[in-house]
Chains A and B, each alone.
Chain A
């Protein structure tokens, strides 16, 4: 359990660039799509990079915007302006 982190986002157009960015930046991430939700599991560490999301969305992106479509997450959060990182502090 402690070796896996996850993030669950609403499955909508706004979350799409975030999901694509996660997939690009975390090669080990596994995406589980359900009709309303996308749950992404990743062993060890999962990072969301502002730069990648901006490239996917084609606009400036504040990482706090993910909160709007965030359903749940598992892992300790380390967040700054450029990166949102999930991992277990053990």
Chain B
């Protein structure tokens, strides 16, 4: 006897929410990420304009000069929403904790020679203030930006920067055997040491930049795109050369994070530039306007890190950044 198995195929009535069908077409399966971010931005029924800024609606696409047909197009290639992001950061936190334990248990950092220690304390520890500025700036974008893909990613970026500031703080503590005086010294350096003043001026100016997309480009592309490779790549190599490989273990998160966040930053810029020539001109103009300022802020730091040879290092960093800009379609 043979049994004939019949299968009944039940077509689902709908695959996803209607606003996703509008964007994707009827027979596409959306990703969790798309379901999490698209259509989340409130766009209508605001009733009153905010008393603190009556020129705009509560959420207003006009708070940046960049014009997008749909701000939901500025998607994150990492596809981070709360779940994926926390899982990824949880893993990284776990391995970073182990690195700290390893270095602390063996007294690897306290054993550095004092010249190297002083150099790390003078160049790396004050960076916690730079990271805090990045945290605040990304908070600003999350608050005043438009379109959940970019604002949600910026609020994660903001927390990432807070994490980086905390790791830097821990490096400052571990290197001094948990004497917090080193942090005060770093703050004094940030406030009054000559080599930090151009960077502090830049950080403060970025905090009062009103156009959120301009701020995105300035903070996440220009400032992060030069400060991170300068300190956690070039200077890191220098430290390793001087026998300080243990320092690298404590900056592993920053290196991984930077490689990952550049993918997102580049993708957002690329999409915005591809939208229209007007956008592209705007972005080009912002890069041209801010780049000299960023370079100027890096110079004294790079000179300090590389004993007067900073100019060469900065040229290399700027070349790399401009190559990235070229790939995103900017003509700089």
Contacts and interface: CB of A to CB of B under 8 A. Distances in A.
Interface in A48-82: 55, 57-59
B258 to A, nearest CB: 16
A35 interface: yes
A57 B7 CA distance: 31
B29 A16 contact: yes
Interface of A: 13, 16-17, 34-35, 55, 57-59
Contact of B76 (A13, A17, A34, A58): A58
Given A34-B7, A57-B79, 13 more contacts: A13-B32, A17-B31, A34-B9, A35-B9, A55-B77, A58-B33, A58-B76, A58-B77, A58-B78, A59-B78, A59-B79, A59-B84, A59-B88
Nearest to B27: A33
Nearest to B80: A58
A43 B327 CA distance: 37
B108 to A, nearest CB: 29
Contacts of B84: 59
Contacts of A55: 77
Which of A34, A58, A59 counts the most B-chain CB atoms under 10 A from its CB?
A: A58
Which of B12, B29, B76 counts the most A-chain CB atoms under 10 A from its CB?
A: B29
Interface in B46-89: 76-80, 84, 88
11 contacts: A13-B31, A16-B29, A16-B31, A34-B7, A35-B9, A55-B77, A58-B33, A58-B78, A59-B78, A59-B84, A59-B88
Interface string B11-31: 010000000000000000101
Interface of B: 7, 9-10, 12, 29, 31-33, 76-80, 84, 88
A17 B77 CA distance: 13
Contacts of B80: 58
Contacts of B12: 35
Contacts of B78: 58-59
A35 B12 CA distance: 8
A10 to B, nearest CB: 13
Given A16-B31, A17-B31, A58 B79 contact: yes
Contacts of A57: 79
A29 to B, nearest CB: 16
Contacts of A16: 29, 31
Nearest to A57: B79
B10 A35 contact: yes
Contacts of A34: 7, 9
A38 to B, nearest CB: 10
Which of B12, B31, B76, B78 counts the most A-chain CB atoms under 10 A from its CB?
A: B31
Contacts of B10: 35
Nearest to B260: A59
Contacts of A13: 31-32
Nearest to A14: B32
Nearest to B31: A16
Contacts of B29: 16
